[in-house]
Amino acid sequence: MCFDADSHPPIEPVAGAATDHHRTTLTASDGNEFAIYEAFAGDGGATGVVVLPDVRGLYRFYEELAVRLAEAGHDAIAIDYFGRTAGIGDRSDQFPYQEHVPQVTHEGMTADVAAAVARLRERNPDRRIFTLGFCFGGSSAWQQAAYGHGLAGAIGFYGRPDGQRPQGARTPIDLAPEMASPILALMGGADPAIPAETVAVFDQALTTAGVEHEVVTYDGAPHSFFDRKYDDFADESADAWKRVLEFIRVH
């Protein structure tokens, strides 16, 4: 997993930025009912963000992140991955996500993201939509840029550029020529699972494909550095959040 049970996004709440936020469900095109947490900006949100969690699914870390995005002016929907295999129950610390992650498929993930994108466009059909993911969700956020959602951009924190999950998916490196939106990659320089060489291959693949992108590596930062508990990486987290908001603003 990416975060400890008591982790929180390293973003302070915005005082006075009241938002409407709650848990509900969506139904994908294949009939799958899955849990989401949606948070709406007070001004209606000119943009929308689909948040793709790590392997634990719709965990409280991502519910809080959706609220922080709404406070920054962006309607946000954080999705769960396990509606097809585990229903819409709570993803508490005891949830056996390891049993369910291998059963998530590329087709299912894409259908669920499409449903979240459609939900965000209900309020504004012309709004710009982004994916924002972490680890398993980071790779998936980049992959979704190639799958016809009309995204304005895809942001991934420490996703694996060479990752083949979910089941049936192609790697972000292989998908680079088909990506139809700008990419932001935020990586930990001390992440043992994602070598610098792999990040460089992804960067080059995006360059070769002519995809507008920015790849940022934080030297010495571990996997899942974006965590309020990691005081040693507070500066890196602050810079990463600033880059997320600026990427959304620009695109």
- Does some domain include residue 187? yes
Percent of the chain scoring above 90 in pLDDT: 83
Q: What is the number of structural domains in the chain? A: 1
CA 116 to chain centre: 12
- pLDDT band of residue 15 (cuts 50, 70, 90) is low
- Does some domain include residue 1? no
Mean pLDDT for 42-49 is 82
Q: Are 162 and 129 in contact (CB under 8 A)?
A: no
Q: Does the pLDDT at position 2 exceed 70?
A: no
Strands, E, within 31-152: which ranges? 33-40, 47-52, 74-79, 128-134
> Domain containing 144 — which CATH number?
3.40.50.1820
- Does some domain include residue 136? yes
Which of 61-75, 140-154, 188-202, 228-242 has the least mean pLDDT? Answer: 228-242
Which of 25-39, 75-89, 224-238 has the least mean pLDDT? Answer: 224-238
Q: Does the pLDDT at position 18 exceed 60?
A: no
> CB-based contacts of 90: which residues, under 8 Å, 6+ apart?
none
Q: Are 3 and 224 in contact (CB under 8 A)?
A: yes
- pLDDT band of residue 35 (cuts 50, 70, 90) is very high
Which of 52-61, 66-75, 168-177, 225-234 has the least mean pLDDT? Answer: 225-234
- Could you tell me the two tokens for 86? 């585990």
Find, among 147, 154, 155, 152, the residue nearest to 128 by Cα: 152
Q: Does the pLDDT at position 139 exceed 80?
A: yes
Predicted pLDDT of residue 16? 57
173-194: pLDDT as tens digits? 999 999 999 999 999 999 999 9
- Does some domain include residue 196? yes
**Tokens 């507008």 identify what position?**
212
Predicted pLDDT of residue 9? 82
Find, among 246, 184, 237, the residue nearest to 65 by Cα: 237
CA distances 78 to 70, 119, 145, 198, 240, Å, are: 12, 12, 17, 28, 19
Q: Are 26 and 115 in contact (CB under 8 A)?
A: yes
- Does some domain include residue 6? no
- Does some domain include residue 55? yes
Predicted pLDDT of residue 4? 63
Mean pLDDT taken over the chain: 93
Question: In what order do the strands lie in the sheet containing 47-52?
Answer: 20-27, 33-40, 74-79, 47-52, 128-134, 153-157, 183-188, 213-218
- Does some domain include residue 75? yes
Predicted pLDDT of residue 42? 78
Signed CA dihedral, 203, 219, 232, 5: sign only: positive
Q: Which domain holds residue 165?
A: 20-250
Predicted pLDDT of residue 124? 86
Strands, E, within 13-66: which ranges? 20-27, 33-40, 47-52
Distance CA 30, CA 13 (A): 37
Mean pLDDT for 213-218 is 98
By the 10 Å C-beta count (0-12 exposed, 13-18 middle, 19+ buried), 96 is classed as: exposed
Mean pLDDT for 229-233 is 82
189-204: pLDDT as tens digits? 999 999 999 999 999 9
- Does some domain include residue 3? no
- pLDDT band of residue 240 (cuts 50, 70, 90) is very high
Mean pLDDT for 86-95 is 90
